[in-house]
Amino acid sequence: MSYMNHTKESYKSHGPTEKGPARTILKGNFMNKKEIVTKKNLIVVLDLLDSMEMRYWIDGGWGIDILLGKQNREHRDIDVDFDGEFTEALLNKLKEKGYEIIVDWSPSRIELYHPELSYIDRHPLIINKDGSARQADLQGD
């Protein structure tokens, strides 16, 4: 199901169920949200990330296009993996920029929306001393 087909009554916060852990989805009308992240939007987000002087990686569709050196298709969001030590700082920076939380599956991911820049899906990583990294699960492990 797409967020685009639902009104605010469609999404509510709920606790753990037999289908999975708790997740919080911001209530709101998603009918007229910007659904495309342009190259210009990407550059704005990359500049914001660079200003934080943290390790991060762009993955997903934009990550592939960056590696290929050209945009191959439209993208709904920017997927960002980053050093989990910056979780609160990045969230605060994104909110200051005008993003609002749409999906909160902390600590493993939070999706945010900006009316001009579209969606960003942020994934904090636990980086080990040996340089390996992993994404926390919903229980924080």
Residue 140 maps to a domain: no
User: To the nearest 10°, the Cα dihedral for 113, 20, 1, 96?
Assistant: 0
pLDDT of 8 above 50: no
Reported confidence tier of residue 5, pLDDT bands at 50, 70, 90: very low
Show the domain range for 59. Answer: 53-88
Peptide bond preceding 107 in cis form (omega within 30 of 0): yes
Residue 62 maps to a domain: yes
Residue 27 maps to a domain: no
**pLDDT at residue 110, as a whole number:** 96
For the stretch 11-48, pLDDT in tens is 333 344 444 454 555 545 555 678 899 999 999 999 99
Residue 116 maps to a domain: no
Residue 75 maps to a domain: yes
**pLDDT at residue 33, as a whole number:** 78
pLDDT of 82 above 50: yes
Residue 23 maps to a domain: no
**Which helix (H) or strand (E) covers residue 114, if one does?**
strand 109-114
- The model carries a pTM of 0.76
AA identity, residue 26: L
Q: What is the number of structural domains in the chain?
A: 1
Average pLDDT over residues 78-107: 96
